[in-house]
Chains A and B, each alone.
Chain A
Amino acid sequence: MVQPTNKELFFAFQKISLSAFGGALPWAKIILVEQKQWMSLEEFAEILSLCQFIPGPNIVNVSIVVGKKANGAVGAFWASLGLLFFPFCLACIVGATYAELSHYQSLNGVFEGIGAVAAGLMLSMSYEMAQKVFIGKPMLLIFSIAAFVALVLLHVHIFFALVVLAPLAIGYALWSSR
């Protein structure tokens, strides 16, 4: 992974958050992997898996990991600050003007439109990750499908899905690489 400076970390994560309408993860991938080319998609997928495994908002965890790898605690600080500063300010403004905002019914369509696009971006990100993650290891696809089925069809809470499937997936990966 390339080692960005604190300043670069701050501005990259700020760019991620300012683009992140509807959800931040696809933008983290777009900016860190494709635009800045600080890491490959495989490395991003690995970082994301570690971040999902540890509690907390995924994108915040990603900023800590990327920041730390670049420049320790200071890097983690600047990356997360870059991520959260402007959204925090915007959310405060929304909080303060909420009473007035809630009168604007016409915003509902805008939210739906943004949400629909965001869902599409998530879909394409998961597809791209799938392409990279399973090359040469098709059996791992079973765990991916299990995760998907657990959440979508069985309505299992992600915590339980993780607790059950993570040891199985890790165990299988270790066993099959002997």
Chain B
Amino acid sequence: MNDESKIGILLVQFSLLSLLAFGGAGAVLPEMYRQTVDIHQWISAQEFSSMFALAQALPGPNVMVVTIIGWKVAGFVGALVATLAMCLPCSVLMFFVTHFWDQYAASDRKKVMMMGLSALTTGFIGASAYLMAASIDTSIKYLAITIATALITLRFKKLNPLWFIAGGAAFGFLFQ
């Protein structure tokens, strides 16, 4: 398969994923795996998992995993196309939804509707946090780090959380 058709497929597949990702990029991670590992066989299961871990550990949105995958498939152009395909369709949609939402109805009605949605969001974020902890904290010591981070950052708002990140990284390096 030549580069042009690979890039074409990257464009189509990731655009679709972008528009299916209700709730966030995590929602389409299984489908992304199916497309990249099973169907197109661009990367192995092991590579998917380690690329995801790398994208998570790197500063930036976790969705940048698509950039890494795109590079593996078709170099710089692949990385660029995969990233734009994943981010542009939803951005355009988001822009227009915001535009029409701002003009819709009375603002107190909107406020009430958003209160309902915010309740859901809080639950979803809590669930993501829980699931993230469940998959990453494979041992007591990492669970302790998660809980300690949560408690300390809640109590001491002034502390810069970046220190925790650095500490966590150092801890992981020394005690793995």
Contact in complex: B67, A54 (CB < 8 Å): no
Contact in complex: B113, A52 (CB < 8 Å): no
B67 → A minimal CB distance (Å): 4
The verdict on B45 contacting chain A, using a C-beta distance below 8 Å, is no
Contacts of A55 in B (CB 8 A): 18-22, 90, 93
Q: How many residues of A contact B (CB 8 A)?
A: 104
Total inter-chain residue pairs, C-beta < 8 Å: 387
Contact in complex: A57, B112 (CB < 8 Å): no
A–B complex contacts, Cβ < 8 Å, 29 sampled: A17-B60, A18-B60, A30-B161, A48-B118, A50-B101, A56-B90, A57-B62, A64-B94, A80-B87, A84-B87, A86-B60, A91-B60, A95-B68, A109-B172, A115-B57, A115-B142, A117-B164, A119-B132, A120-B133, A120-B148, A121-B150, A123-B129, A124-B149, A137-B119, A144-B119, A159-B27, A165-B120, A171-B116, A174-B109
Contact in complex: B173, A113 (CB < 8 Å): yes
Closest 10 CB pairs of A and B: A56-B90, A87-B60, A113-B172, A95-B71, A109-B176, A120-B149, A147-B123, A173-B116, A158-B23, A122-B129
Contact status of A91 and B58, CB under 8 A, knowing A45-B122, A121-B150: yes
Contacts of A114 in B (CB 8 A): 56-57, 165, 168-169, 172
Contact in complex: B61, A17 (CB < 8 Å): yes
Contact in complex: B117, A53 (CB < 8 Å): yes
Contacts of B41 in A (CB 8 A): none
Q: Which of A1-24 contact B (CB under 8 A)?
A: 17-24
Cβ contact of B124, chosen from A22, A110, A113, A147, cutoff 8 A: A147
Contacts of A32 in B (CB 8 A): none
A134–B174 Cα gap in the complex (Å)?
41
Contact in complex: A119, B133 (CB < 8 Å): yes
Contacts of B67 in A (CB 8 A): 87-88, 91-92, 95
Contact in complex: A60, B101 (CB < 8 Å): no
Cβ contact of B147, chosen from A23, A106, A120, A150, cutoff 8 A: A120
The verdict on B79 contacting chain A, using a C-beta distance below 8 Å, is yes
The verdict on B9 contacting chain A, using a C-beta distance below 8 Å, is no
Q: Which of B135-155 contact A (CB under 8 A)?
A: 136-138, 142-143, 145-151, 153-154
Contacts of A37 in B (CB 8 A): none
Contact in complex: A49, B172 (CB < 8 Å): no
The verdict on A39 contacting chain B, using a C-beta distance below 8 Å, is no
A141–B115 Cα gap in the complex (Å)?
11
Contact in complex: A76, B25 (CB < 8 Å): no
The verdict on B97 contacting chain A, using a C-beta distance below 8 Å, is yes
B160 → A minimal CB distance (Å): 9
- Which residue from chain A places its CB closest to the CB of B70 in the assembled complex? A95
A62–B114 Cα gap in the complex (Å)?
15
- Which residue from chain A places its CB closest to the CB of B60 in the assembled complex? A87
Contact in complex: A65, B98 (CB < 8 Å): yes
A80–B21 Cα gap in the complex (Å)?
18
Contacts of B120 in A (CB 8 A): 49, 52, 143-144, 147, 162, 165-166, 169
